[in-house]
Structure 1
């Protein structure tokens, strides 16, 4: 019996989908805290609003029901289904496009006469500029395709289920949004989302550049040419810390433009920036950064450990 041989593109997509699903399940509560902290940036009354205040609110709202413990868990995992769906799709699309774009850009720049599709086999020949270009172009396409998912996700995760006007499900959210705001509502926050793509591009540039350096050293010393989990975690943590911190304000602006409040108060990008700075100074643009790093670094480590190991074994 002959084993099925996966193509490089299939490996990228399967590994990306699996990694996205597993990561989302593990860190979803931190994602919910991050969203609620980001949305507090537009409220002058919530200048000192922190992670513990969010948890306190969830516990307080849960105490009004007879099943407080299960209610707390339900609230911490509110929006899990759309977060799971969105991250699985986004990572699958991103990894698939990233693998293709690296190869296409490499051939266009380095090997214009080469016509055979080699997938990710050219990685050891690729420089940082190609990684940056591939990451940026893949991120832009992924952001445009998945923006409607993130609008619904932000609104579901920003409110408790019992709050008046809250979306009770993905279907209910889509229905309400289309009825009240039309198709344009599905692409709210797209502009900062497109600028925020630079985070992924920067991350992949750092990650793949450091990864190829480590693999080159292993190859030269005759070692097994595969990253260990510890090496993946080391590279991932450094890349994520740098990239997230540099472009975090775009994430915060995107969340606020996608919120219920954005529709009620007709938020626009530049007036929104002014409002946040007026409430809390420039520090307001980094509201929830520590929680985001606490979520982003371990979640990306999980994602890339799953991704690298699965791709290696497929």
Structure 2
């Protein structure tokens, strides 16, 4: 139909405001839909001495958490990511498009350097904003968390551990997010071009390319994500060795000492299961909102 929106035919250099608003809406959509699986991933990555909180897989975790704590426990902390995801993704996609345009990524389809640098720059800016919200989210996700609201959790962490607790994992977050976003953005762009070389209107292309990109990036960066979870939840642990972990090297040493090589794959299944649909939803939402706002 002549009046249908053609996503790929739209001008790539939309205004910064359009890209930021599209990114904010996409980020909220992404995190809200897959939040329960993300909660399971956090539970599987946390080191605990309680056998009640040790899960053999995603299905086992879902069944046990739902039956013993109620399904609402899987959504505990969701408001933290909703509040943080909008602004963080706005910054992410605004930076992404601005850097890609600056480096000529919109003019040359094979400019892999531009896409990778744009992805890295975007996540550096966005994670600075999102990291405190992510700490709060994981503190609320863990087994027997005493926190029942975002504000109460933030206040408790600040009073007991100081401002540094919200950023102790920031270097590790960047160590995850920069390669994650560079990988997923590059894979997304290349898969999208292979599946849709004519750049026709094709939401299925955004879903498929986004899902593949998310799965690849999530699997590659899981070891770093395990370390990040340890750093962000150590303040809630009664284990002295965990509470004394100061950074990424300490986290890696502890994971290796406790579990060996398999410890670095803790939570990989729910992480990939979360990343595939959430990244697909994120890119589909981003392309849709960007196209819809450009067409107004």
Same fold? TM cut 0.5: yes
Query: Is residue 178 of structure 2 the alignment partner of residue 171 of structure 1?
Result: no
CA–CA distance in 2 between the matches of 1:301 and 1:30? Answer: 15
The correspondence for 2:68, drawn from 61, 69, 84, is 61
Structure 2 residue corresponding to 1:283, chosen from 248, 259, 262: 262
Structure 2 residue aligned with 1:295: 274
225, 234, 256: which one aligns with 1:251: 225
TM-score (norm 1): 0.79
Instruction: Identify the residue that residue 116 of structure 1 maps to in structure 2.
Output: none
1:270 alignment counterpart: 249
Superposed displacement of residue 82, structure 1: 0.8
Counterpart CA distance in 1 for 2:192 and 2:15 is: 18
Is residue 206 of structure 1 aligned with residue 187 of structure 2?
Answer: yes
In the other structure, the counterpart of 2:203 is 229
Distance of 2:254 and 2:191 partners within structure 1: 39
CA shift, 1:21, in A, is 1.7
Contact 2:44 2:54 in 1 (8 A): no
Distance 1:241 1:25 in 2: 18
Counterparts in 2 of 1:261 and 1:53: CA distance versus 1, 3 Å? farther
Correspondence for 2:77: 79
The unaligned stretches of length 5 or more in structure 2 are 1-12
> Measured at CA, do residues 47 and 155 of structure 1 come closer, stay the same or move farther in structure 2, by a change above 3 Å?
closer
Q: What 5-or-longer segments of structure 1 have no aligned partner?
A: 1-5, 63-71, 107-119, 219-224
CA-to-aligned-CA distance 1:170-219 (integer Å, 9 cap, x gap)? 1111111111111111102112111102111111011123334555x31x
RMSD (Å) for aligned C-alpha atoms = 2.5
Q: Distance in 2 between matches of 1:132 and 1:8?
A: 21
By how many angstroms is 1:258 displaced? Answer: 0.4
Segments ≥4 residues shifted beyond 6 Å: 44-48
Q: What is the number of equivalent residue pairs in this alignment?
A: 274
> 1:96: Cα distance to partner?
0.8
SS at match of 2:245: coil
| Residue 286 to residue 101, structure 1, CA distance change in 2 (3 Å) | same
Give TM-score, length-normalised by structure 2: 0.83
Give 1 or 2 for the bigger CA radius of gyration: 1
2:289 corresponds to which residue?
310
What does residue 38 of structure 2 align with?
A: 31
